[in-house]
Amino acid sequence: MKNQTPPSDDYDTPWKDALTRYFPEFMAFYFPLAAAEIDWRQAHVFLDQELAQVVQDAELGKRLLDRLVQVGTYEGGEQWVYIHVEVQGQRDAHFAERLFTYNYRLYDRYRRPVASLAVLADDSESWKPDTFGYQLFGCEVGIRFPAVKILDYGSQIESLLEDPNPFALVTAAHLFTRKTKGDPEQRYAAKWRLAKLLYEREWDKQRIIDLFSVIDWLMHLPNALEQQLLHDVYTLERNVAMPYVTSAERFGIEKGLQQGLQQGLQQGLQQGRQEGRQEEAVVFLQRQLTHRFGRLPDAVCARLTSASIEQLETWILNVLDAESLDDFFDRC
């Protein structure tokens, strides 16, 4: 198993999704001093389109993730300011210059204070940029920005696993991802540990789904180990008396829709017919129904196999809500 090459790790989507869904917690975990000055009673607003317009011709290097957020502050009554957050996944000699460029362009557009904040998620322990500027003829221009280094949390993993902030688990998942690179068995053990922690917290169902998705995006596993992990999570959910016992199933279905059905659709289009989509949908439904209700009768398998692609897609959307096989077909 250790000779297998795992898929490349992707840091963009999980960080972006987690930051968007839990921005107050993101600020409280990584930038607590700034978070204390924000009036969270006022809604914060993400301005992605506005950011794209400002920086579209200022590409000074590869951006991993950046968000522009409008927030209110306590100072001076209801005052709106802007936070430009960037998560950088690799060392980049132009990173600080890019933040400087974005900051002054945003200020030029809004004429409001702009705070640039950086999360450095790269592998280089010595790379910690936090300033950029220059001097000329007595004129000095520059920026100094807070920068958090994920690697600096490396000695605090056990504390991270006890921290109730969701970004403590995101940070731990990130560290585990790098620590277990090239070792699928160790990554499986770390990912399973994080998954179990999700169910030990008194979190709502949606937060479990969200964070399980983040962990999965970060910590890729070979297919066999990934299937084993999902099976273990299914078993865990059945053994704990919680009101959100279908979170892993819902995550699995969303993942299956994105991967299995899309692959089947591509195959069907390439062949000029729908068999690809239909076969993928049948296999997906058989797997999900077996996980939920045990071995399927031959009559159920025959009904799935003979169904149209439209009927199969309808069944996929309803499989989570069924309480039995009879209920599943009655709903559809």
pLDDT at 286: 79
**Tokens 């076969």 map to which residue?**
279
Taking a C-beta distance cutoff of 8 angstroms, is the pair 249, 234 a contact? yes
Mean pLDDT of 317-328: 72
Q: Out of 13-22, 51-60, 140-149, 247-256, give the one with best mean pLDDT.
A: 140-149
- What's the pLDDT tens digit per position in 77-100? 556 778 888 888 788 888 899 889
Residue type, 321: D
pLDDT at 171: 92
Residues of the chain with pLDDT > 90, as a percent, come to 23
- What's the pLDDT tens digit per position in 51-69? 777 666 555 444 456 788 8
Q: What is the CATH number that goes with domain 32-145?
A: 3.30.300
pLDDT at 303: 87
The answer, yes or no, to whether residue 257 has pLDDT greater than 50, is no
Helix ranges (H only) for the chain are: 12-21, 23-30, 32-36, 48-55, 95-110, 157-162, 166-179, 184-200, 205-218, 223-239, 247-256, 262-271, 275-293, 298-306, 309-318, 325-331
Chain center to CA of 232: 21
Domain-wise residue ranges, the chain? 32-145, 246-332
pLDDT at 279: 74
pLDDT at 96: 92
- What's the pLDDT tens digit per position in 183-231? 989 999 999 999 889 888 878 777 887 888 888 888 888 878 887 887 7
> Global pTM?
0.68
